[in-house]
Amino acid sequence: MKLEAYTTLPDILNADMLAATLGISRAGAYQLLNSEEFPTLQIGKRKLVPKDKLIQWINQHTGGGSHAD
């Protein structure tokens, strides 16, 4: 995903938005949100991911290192 594509994302993504962003299933998004290494923000029963943390996670897992937005 190019850096320009990140600017259109909301600041906080739910499972559906995460799935659409990464091109994975909703079940796959929940697997990520439930994994220890993924930067999940839990509010009550809702699991969310902050956009900036998602970008960092993507960069770290694709050999991109850290990238400030």
pLDDT (tens, 9 = 90+) of the chain, 69 residues, equals 455 678 889 999 999 999 999 999 999 999 999 999 999 999 999 999 999 999 999 989 887 655 454
User: Is the pTM higher than 0.95?
Assistant: no
Would you state the pLDDT for residue 4? 67
Give which of 58, 49, 67 is closest to 1, Cα–Cα: 58
What order do you get walking across the sheet with 41-43 strand by strand? 12-13, 46-50, 41-43
Element (H or E) spanning 31, and its range? Answer: helix 26-33
Give the class (CATH, top level) of 3-58.
Answer: mainly alpha
- In the chain, what are the domain boundaries? 3-58
| pLDDT for residue 69 | 46
